[in-house]
Structure formats: structure tokens, C-alpha cells
Amino acid sequence: MRTAVTVLGTCLLLAACAATPDQAAKDTLLLDYEDFGPQAMAHELLGMQWWQWENSGSPNPNDRYAIKVVAYKDLTRAEVEQRFPVVPDKLQDYRYVPYEEAMRYLDRHIADDVIADVTARLTRTREALLATLGGSTQK
């Protein structure tokens, strides 16, 4: 009986620890749009900071959009889009950026060092990418 309880407990623990899209393994990192700087900078990499299914943003500059950025490595874009789908009805908006492209973008803008606070945030984003996705590329 004790063995059955231990096995059941282990199975429940493993199920609870299973990866969700927000906790995906070492092949993706979920970030905020703002982690790549203000829209004036980041739009070249991520597009404009409004829902991608809309033609334009709100006229109110205080409106915010909960746009997430999925940096990925060792996956195809199709695999990432399947794992992190855009769902307008749920206001679920993702932008997809390959690891190498994100790193080139961050390195360039960190080197520019135009605004200290922005550079600091970009540096933290770069460190998070290296910590999570750094290493060899398979695909």
C-alpha cells in the first residue's frame, strides 16, 4: 500500500511540474514587448505595439497592450506558433523572434547606449536570453 501511495504521489508531482507554454523548456523564453525597448526602437524587430490583428493602436497613449515576445532556438517558427498561438478573442498576442536575431538586435542597441535605463533593460533581456537559450543550435 505504501508503495502504491508513493508511486501515485510521484506521478502527481510529475504532472504538476509538466511544462506549460509559460514554462517552456530551454528552447523558448517568454518576454514582454517592453523588454526590447520602447516601441520607437522595438518596432523594427517586433512590429508596432498594438494588437497585430488591428490596423492601428488606440488614440489614448496610456492604453497598454499585453504583447508577449517568444524568443526561440532549436525550433521552427511553425512549432513556436503552435505552442504559443495568437488568439484575438482572448487578447493573446505573441511576437516570434529567433534567438540569433534577438541577440543581434540587443547587441546593436546596447552598444548604442542612447538612454541608460533602456540600455539596462536591454542588457537584462540579453542576460536572460543567454541564461535560457545560450549554447549550440540544432536546427
**DSSP string over the chain:** -HHHHHHHHHHHHHHHTPPPGGG--TTEEEEEGGGG--HHHHHHHH--SS-TTSSS--S-TT----EEEEEESSS-HHHHHHHS--BGGGTBEEEEEEHHHHHHHHHHHHHH--SHHHHHHHHHHHHHHHHHH-S----
Say if residue 19's pLDDT is above 60: no
CB 25 within 8 A of CB 17: no
Would you say residue 10 lies in a domain?
no
Domain region containing 101: 21-133
Identify whether 11 is part of a domain: no
Answer yes or no: is 5 within a domain. no
pLDDT of residue 17: 40
In this predicted structure, the answer to whether residue 20 has a pLDDT above a threshold of 90 is: no
> In this predicted model, which residue has the larger pLDDT, 104 or 25?
104
In a domain? residue 101: yes
The pLDDT of residue 21 is above 70: no
Q: Would you say residue 101 has pLDDT above 80?
A: yes
Is residue 98 one of the residues assigned to a domain? Answer: yes
In a domain? residue 39: yes
pLDDT for 2 equals 52
What's the structural domain count of the chain?
A: 1
At 117-134, the pLDDT tens digits run 999 999 999 999 999 999
Give domain status of residue 3, yes or no: no
Q: Does residue 8 belong to any structural domain of this protein?
A: no
Per-residue pLDDT, averaged over 88-100, amounts to: 97
In the prediction, which pLDDT does 93 show? 97
